[in-house]
Structure 1
Amino acid sequence: MGEVVYGGHIIDPWDQRCLVAILQRCYNPRVLEEGHITCQAQGYPAFPNDASWLQCYAYIENMPDKDLAEVFGIDSSAEAMVQHHEGQQLLQAIISLQPQINDNLMQTRDREAQDEVVLKVATDILKKLPERVESGHGSGKTICLQEIIADIHSIEKDEGGQHSVTWLLVVLNEEVKRFDRLLGAVRSSLLSVCMAVRGETLMTEKMEELHNALLTMVLPAAWKVLSYESCKPLGSWVLDLEHRVDFFQTWSDHVKITHLKRTGLSAGGRRTFWQLSVKMLSTVTHRENPRCYWLSGFFFPQGFLTAVLQTYAQKKNLPVDCLCFSYHVQPKQEASLDWSRLLKRSKLLFEGPDPPEDGVLVCGLYLNGASWDPKSQTLQEVLPELQNCPMPDIHFLPCQRPDDPPPHQPKPGEQLRAGSEGELFSYECPLYCTSKRTGYLFSTGLSSNFITAMSLPTSMPPSHWVFRGTAMLCQQDE
C-alpha cells in the first residue's frame, strides 16, 4: 500500500517514511489479537469483536468530540504548540487585513507618531549592524580573505602540497560575501527610508513597504530575498544577524592574524596588510579555525559540511563520494548551556581544549519533538513546557559510507519489532534550518531548509519518533 498505491503521489522520503509508519499500525498481525487497542488514550477502549449494530453506534457516539494528540501518536504537549502557532498565524492575518488608510485622510499627529517609531527602529538597527563583515575592507589597511586564499594557493604551487584548511577558507569567504551583500542592502534601504521620512526624498512604493514592515516588526520582503532561512520576527532577526556577523568577524580575524604570523609579511611587501599591534598578536589564540562551529550561523550549512568531507577526503586520499558522517553527541558542558551568552562572545568558540583531529564539533542545534537524556545518551520524551531542547556539542566525524544499512534501521515498509530491554535503535533524525521544514531547491539540487539526516540512539523503535515528528533545528522561531 505504501510503496505501490501511494508511491507515485508521495515523492518526499520523509513523508513516505511517515506514511509507512502509519500503515504499520493497521497492517500487522497484532490487529487480529483479542483486545488490541490502536490508541492508548482514555476514551478509546478496545472495540468488541461481536458487537451489534447498536453497540457499534454507541461506541462511536461515546468517543471524544475532539481528537486527542495521542490519537496521532504525538505528545500531549504538542497541542499547546499547535495552538501557539495557530494564534501567531491569526495575528499575522489580522495585521495583513488592516485597511491601508490614505495619507490625505490620516491625522497628521498619528502619521508623525508612526514616523518617529520608524526612525527609532531604523536608527537602532543601523547602530547594531556593521557595514561589512570584514572591517576596513577596501581601505588599503587590511588583507581580505580572497588574498589569503590566493597566497595559500601560491604556497601550494611552490611547495607542491595541499593546505588542509583551504576548503574551509573558501566556505568562510563565500559566507562573508553573502553577509556583506545582506548588510549592504539593509543599510542602504534603512538610510533611504529615513531620508524619505524626514522629507529629504520622495517616499516610493518600496520605501512604503519597508515603512510598514518596521511598524509591524516583520521582516521586509526586500531583505527576505537576500536573507538566510528564518522564521523570526524583525527584532529577533536583527539580533540573530548581529550574532552571525560577530561569529564570522571573529573567525575571519583569526584567519588573518594566523596567516600574518605564518607568512611574516609586513606592510612593506607587495600589498598593504592589516596593521596589527604586537600586543594583539601575542594575546590572540593560535587557532585559525573555531574549536566548535556554530552551524546555525551559516547561510549555506550544506556547503560547510561538504567542505568538511572534502578536507577529510584530501587528508586521507579518499574519494569524497564514498564518505558520510557519523554523529557523536558530546557530554553536556557548562559552556553549552547558555547559548545567548555564548553567541554574544564568539571568541569562546576559539578557546578551550583542542578540537578533534578529524571532523568538526557543531554547536547551537535544538531538538524538536523530543529531548536528550545526557545520562543514557539517548532520545527521551519532551520535557514539560520545553518546545525545543538545546543539544550539547555534536561531533560530525567523516567516515566511509557503509555498503549495508545500519542495524535496526528498517527499509520502507519493513515491519518494526519492539526492542528488548536495554536494546538500542538508531533513529534517522532530519536536520532543518528552521521549524518550517519546507524550502526550495538550489541549482545544486540541495534544499534551502533541509540539511542532513543524523543518526541518534534511542531505546524506543524509530516509528515512535516518526509519529512524534522528531527533528533537529538550527534555530528557534523567537
Structure 2
Amino acid sequence: AIDVDDCPLSDSGIYYVCADGTSSLADMRTYVETLPMSEEPEVFGMHDNSSLVYREREGARVIRDVLNIQPTAIEAYVEPEPLTTEAETETEAEGEGEGEAAAVAEKQAAKAKRQVPEEEREDGDYGILTVSTADTEDTIVDRIAADLLQRLPEQLDMDTALEGLFEPLESGLIHSLAVVLKQEVQRFNNLLSVLKSSLADLRSGIKGLVVMSAQLESVFRACFIGQVPDMWTAAAYPSLKPLSSWFADLILRVEFMRSWLQKGRPESYWLSGFFFPQASLSLSLSLSLPLYTPNSQGFITGVLQTYARSHSVPIDVLAFRFMFTHKTEPEDLTPDECVSEGVLIHGLYLDGAYFDPDRMQLVQARQRMLFPRLPIVHFLPVPNWERDDSDYEAPLYKTSFRAGVLSTTGRSTNHIMPVDIPTAQDPSFFTKQGTALLCQLDT
C-alpha cells in the first residue's frame, strides 16, 4: 500500500514513498539526490526499450546534421615530396619508350604542382595545400553512382509474365490482384527509369560532359552523404532508410514483383514490397472495374475485391479477420498452411510489444528486442465480421514516422490499416505503450 514506508512507485524501485518521519530538509535533499537526472521511461508508463529507440534516432539525426553542414573545401598540411631534378628525370626516362618518357614527365609536372617551393615557405611551414574536396567528392560519388548503376535491376517486362496471369476471368474482368500487380510494375519501372537516367547524368556531369543542374547537384550531395536524393524520393514509396539500405531494399522489392510476374501469385505476400499497399476507398465501391484504371488500386482493396467477386457479396460488408501462424518466413510454409481464401502476409514488425509464439498473444516488449518480427498473418475477408474488443487494434504503418498526409483518395500516405492482435492484457496498456506494426525499419 502507498502508506507503507518506502513503498515503490515503479518496478525499478527508483521512485518510492519516503519513510514516515523524513521531513527535515537534509533528509529530503538526500532523497532528491538519489533520483536520476533525467526521467526514466517508466515514469511515463513506457518500456525501457523506448529510451534505446530514442537515443538511436537522436544519434542518427545528429550524424545526419553533421554530414549536411560539412564544408565543401578544406585546408590541409601536406608533407611535400622531394622535387626530382631534371637530371633524375632524364635518368628515369633513359631506356624507356617515348610513351613511357612522356608519362614520367607528366608525373613530374603533376608532382611539382602539388608542392610549395622551399624558398617560399615560412619557418615551421611544411607547405599549405588548399585541397578542394570537389576532387575527392567527385571520385567518391562517381564510384557510388557506377556501383548503383551496375546493381540497378532491369525493368520489369510485362512480356515475360506467366501465361494467363492477366487473362480475363469468366466475368470478363482481370483478377483484382493482377490489376494491382500491373500498376505496381508501372510504378517500379518509372522509379527504375528515374534512377537510371539520373545516375547516368550524374556521372556525365562529374566528367564535365553535361552541365550540373541544381537537381543533379542535389543528387550528388545526397549520394556523397549517404542519403536518398529528393528526386528519387519523389518518385518512390515512403522510406526512412539511408541510401545503401534503401537501394538494397529496392532490389528486394523489384525481385518480389518479378517473381510474382513470372511465376504467378505467391503463397505469401510481402506487404512492405508494395508501392501502394493500403485500401483505396474510391475503388472499393465498385466490383466492375475496367481492365485498367489510372487510379491507384491498393493491394488490400484487391484482396477484398477478389473475395467479393468470387462470393458475390458487396465489398462494403467485408472486414478482415486476422489469424496468426507459427511461421515467420514464407519458405517454411507447408502446403497445408497455404490458403485459398484471403492472403498470407509476411515481413511485418512490432514496435512497443512482443508477440509470444507459444501463447499466440501480444505481450509486453522484451528487453532490448526493439522491433521483433511478427509471424505470418492470414488476412481473411469475412462478411459482417465483428472484431473482439479484447484484441488490441494495432495501427499498421509503412514507416516508423507514424505520420503522413492525406492523399487524393482520402487515405493517409503512411497509415495502412488497423490489425487486431489477441492479447490477455487490457488493450489500453498497449495504447499507452504506443504499440504499432511497421512494414519496414529505418536501417
- TM-score relative to the length of structure 2: 0.75
After superposition, residues 456-475 of structure 1 pair within 5 angstroms as: 456-475=421-440
Shift in Å, 1:354:
6.7
- Find out whether 1:299 has 2:270 as its counterpart: no
After superposition, residues 298-447 of structure 1 pair within 5 angstroms as: 298-302=274-278, 303-332=298-327, 335=329, 355-402=338-385, 406-407=387-388, 409=389, 425-447=390-412
After superposition, residues 196-207 of structure 1 pair within 5 angstroms as: 196-207=205-216
- Find out whether 1:80 has 2:63 as its counterpart: no
Deviation string 1:223-256 (CA, Å, 9 cap, x unpaired) is 01111011100000000000000010111112xx
Match of 2:256 in 1: 247
Shift in Å, 1:112:
2.7
Helix, strand or coil for the counterpart of 2:63?
helix
Residues 100 and 112 (structure 1), Cα distance of their counterparts in 2 relative to 1, 3 Å cut? closer
Partner Cα separation in structure 1 for residue 414 and residue 65 of structure 2: 24
Residues 445 and 185 (structure 1), Cα distance of their counterparts in 2 relative to 1, 3 Å cut? same
Which amino acid in structure 1 is aligned with residue 53 of structure 2?
M
RMSD: 3.1
Shift in Å, 1:350:
10
Partner Cα separation in structure 2 for residue 96 and residue 170 of structure 1: 42
Shift in Å, 1:63:
4.3
Partner Cα separation in structure 1 for residue 313 and residue 15 of structure 2: 56
Partner Cα separation in structure 1 for residue 71 and residue 244 of structure 2: 24
Match of 1:132 in 2: 155
Shift in Å, 1:195:
0.6
Partner Cα separation in structure 2 for residue 350 and residue 373 of structure 1: 19
Partner Cα separation in structure 2 for residue 86 and residue 73 of structure 1: 21
Match of 1:92 in 2: 64
Partner Cα separation in structure 2 for residue 426 and residue 50 of structure 1: 46
Match of 1:265 in 2: none
Q: How much identity, in percent, do the aligned residues show?
A: 34
Partner Cα separation in structure 2 for residue 454 and residue 49 of structure 1: 49
Partner Cα separation in structure 1 for residue 385 and residue 222 of structure 2: 50
Shift in Å, 1:147:
10
Partner Cα separation in structure 1 for residue 333 and residue 179 of structure 2: 19
Deviation string 1:184-215 (CA, Å, 9 cap, x unpaired) is 10100000010111121122221111111111
Partner Cα separation in structure 2 for residue 50 and residue 441 of structure 1: 58
Q: Higher Cα Rg: structure 1 or 2?
A: 2
After superposition, residues 13-32 of structure 1 pair within 5 angstroms as: none
Helix, strand or coil for the counterpart of 2:211?
coil
Helix, strand or coil for the counterpart of 2:372?
strand
Deviation string 1:299-357 (CA, Å, 9 cap, x unpaired) is 11111011101111112211111111111110135x45xxxxxxxxxxx5999557312
Deviation string 1:81-139 (CA, Å, 9 cap, x unpaired) is 2111111111111122223449xxx95674333212111111111111234122xx5xx
Match of 2:233 in 1: 224
Match of 1:453 in 2: 418
- Asked whether the 8 Å contact 2:349–2:437 carries over to 1, the reply is yes
Match of 2:192 in 1: 183
Partner Cα separation in structure 2 for residue 54 and residue 429 of structure 1: 48
Partner Cα separation in structure 1 for residue 266 and residue 336 of structure 2: 11
Deviation string 1:272-307 (CA, Å, 9 cap, x unpaired) is xxxxxxxxxxxxxxxx31100000100111110111
Residues 114 and 426 (structure 1), Cα distance of their counterparts in 2 relative to 1, 3 Å cut? same
Match of 1:116 in 2: 139
Which amino acid in structure 1 is aligned with residue 241 of structure 2?
K
- Asked whether the 8 Å contact 1:196–1:202 carries over to 2, the reply is yes
Which amino acid in structure 2 is aligned with residue 373 of structure 1?
D
Gaps of 5+ in 1: 1-29, 255-287, 337-347, 410-424
Residues 37 and 455 (structure 1), Cα distance of their counterparts in 2 relative to 1, 3 Å cut? farther
Tell me how many residue pairs correspond in the alignment: 367
Partner Cα separation in structure 2 for residue 457 and residue 197 of structure 1: 56
Which amino acid in structure 1 is aligned with residue 434 of structure 2?
G
